[in-house]
Amino acid sequence: LRHLHLPTLTPYTHVSTLQDRLVRSLLAHKASTTNFTNTPPNPTVITAEFTPVYTCGRREVGTLSAQQKAYLTEQTTWGQAEFHEALRGGQTTFHGPGQLVAYPILDLRRHALTPRCWVNALEGAVIATCAAYGVEAGRTENPGVWVHGQGQEGGDERKICAVGVHLRRNVTSHGIGLNVSTELGWFRRIVACGLEGKGTTSLQAEIGDVRPVPSVEEVGGIFVEMLARNLYGVDGVEQIDEADI
């Protein structure tokens, strides 16, 4: 499993371009009638920390009004966010500093996965990553990964990670947004993932003063390792540079 980590704050559009390049490469290999004996491109995970951005899923594309977009992109005390439409599943969410975004690009069939199993694998890797920092997280009837019990932001059920994927001919893209030390005020400007009355949290909020808050890069490394352990046909992780994409 190839792992590309982008070490500095990165615009959503830059990561989206890298992701699209990898998706096109996999789709071209699947479409070619001369590639039956050639090794397909290796699965790749891009991890990054975005500059502030709100993105909406494919069901909301074209539905947000000019006023809604203006509200989301106005100046705040934490900075100013962009807005972009995405092809992933799910609804409007926030990505920004302090959040791990991980985009795995792979062919589900090559790894003997159904779409539902793939979402479970992503959620499972997030749950295992949270557990590595002493945070107990799990699944609910709602998408994503959640933490239970009263927290600093209030509420008994708080979302720590959003999950939204896109599939084309069994090639998956997009992935997860795990809050490490994210400013949670960004989420109060939206109905996060379309779920009324639900709060958000982060590893920082859950850890408190028990231990130092990890970096997004550190958490990303653990997430990729956890994901690789449960991928059929994958026997390790290889670090790559952006030039290798």
Average pLDDT of the chain is 90
> Is 36 a residue whose pLDDT tops 70?
no
Proportion of the chain above pLDDT 90, given as a percent: 73
The CATH H-level (homologous superfamily) assignment of domain 2-244 is Bira Bifunctional Protein; Domain 2 (3.30.930.10)
Model-level pTM?
0.92
Q: What's 85's DSSP letter? A: E
**Which DSSP string do the residues of 118-139 spell out, in sequence order?**
HHHHHHHHHHHHHHHTT--EE-
> Is 88 a residue whose pLDDT tops 60?
yes
CA distance 106 to 101: 16
Displacement of CA 125 from its chain's centroid (Å): 11
- Average pLDDT, stretch 108-134? 96
Spell out the domain ranges in the chain. 2-244
Which residues carry out catalysis? 193
Q: What is the pLDDT of residues 206-218, one digit of tens each?
A: 998 778 899 999 9
75 is in an annotated binding site: no
171 is in an annotated binding site: no
Contacts with 90 (C-beta within 8 Å, 6 or more apart), sequence order: 57, 143, 162, 163, 164, 193, 194
CA distance 74 to 82: 9
- Average pLDDT, stretch 84-88? 86
91 is in an annotated binding site: yes
175 is in an annotated binding site: yes
- Average pLDDT, stretch 115-138? 96
* Amino acid found at 221: G
Q: What is the pLDDT of residues 140-161, one digit of tens each?
A: 988 899 998 655 444 578 999 9
What confidence tier does 64 reach under pLDDT thresholds 50, 70, 90? confident
Strand partners, 20: none
Residue 236 · residue 1 · CB < 8 Å: yes
Neighbour-count burial of 100, counting CB atoms closer than 10 A to its CB (0-12 exposed, 13-18 middle, 19+ buried):
buried
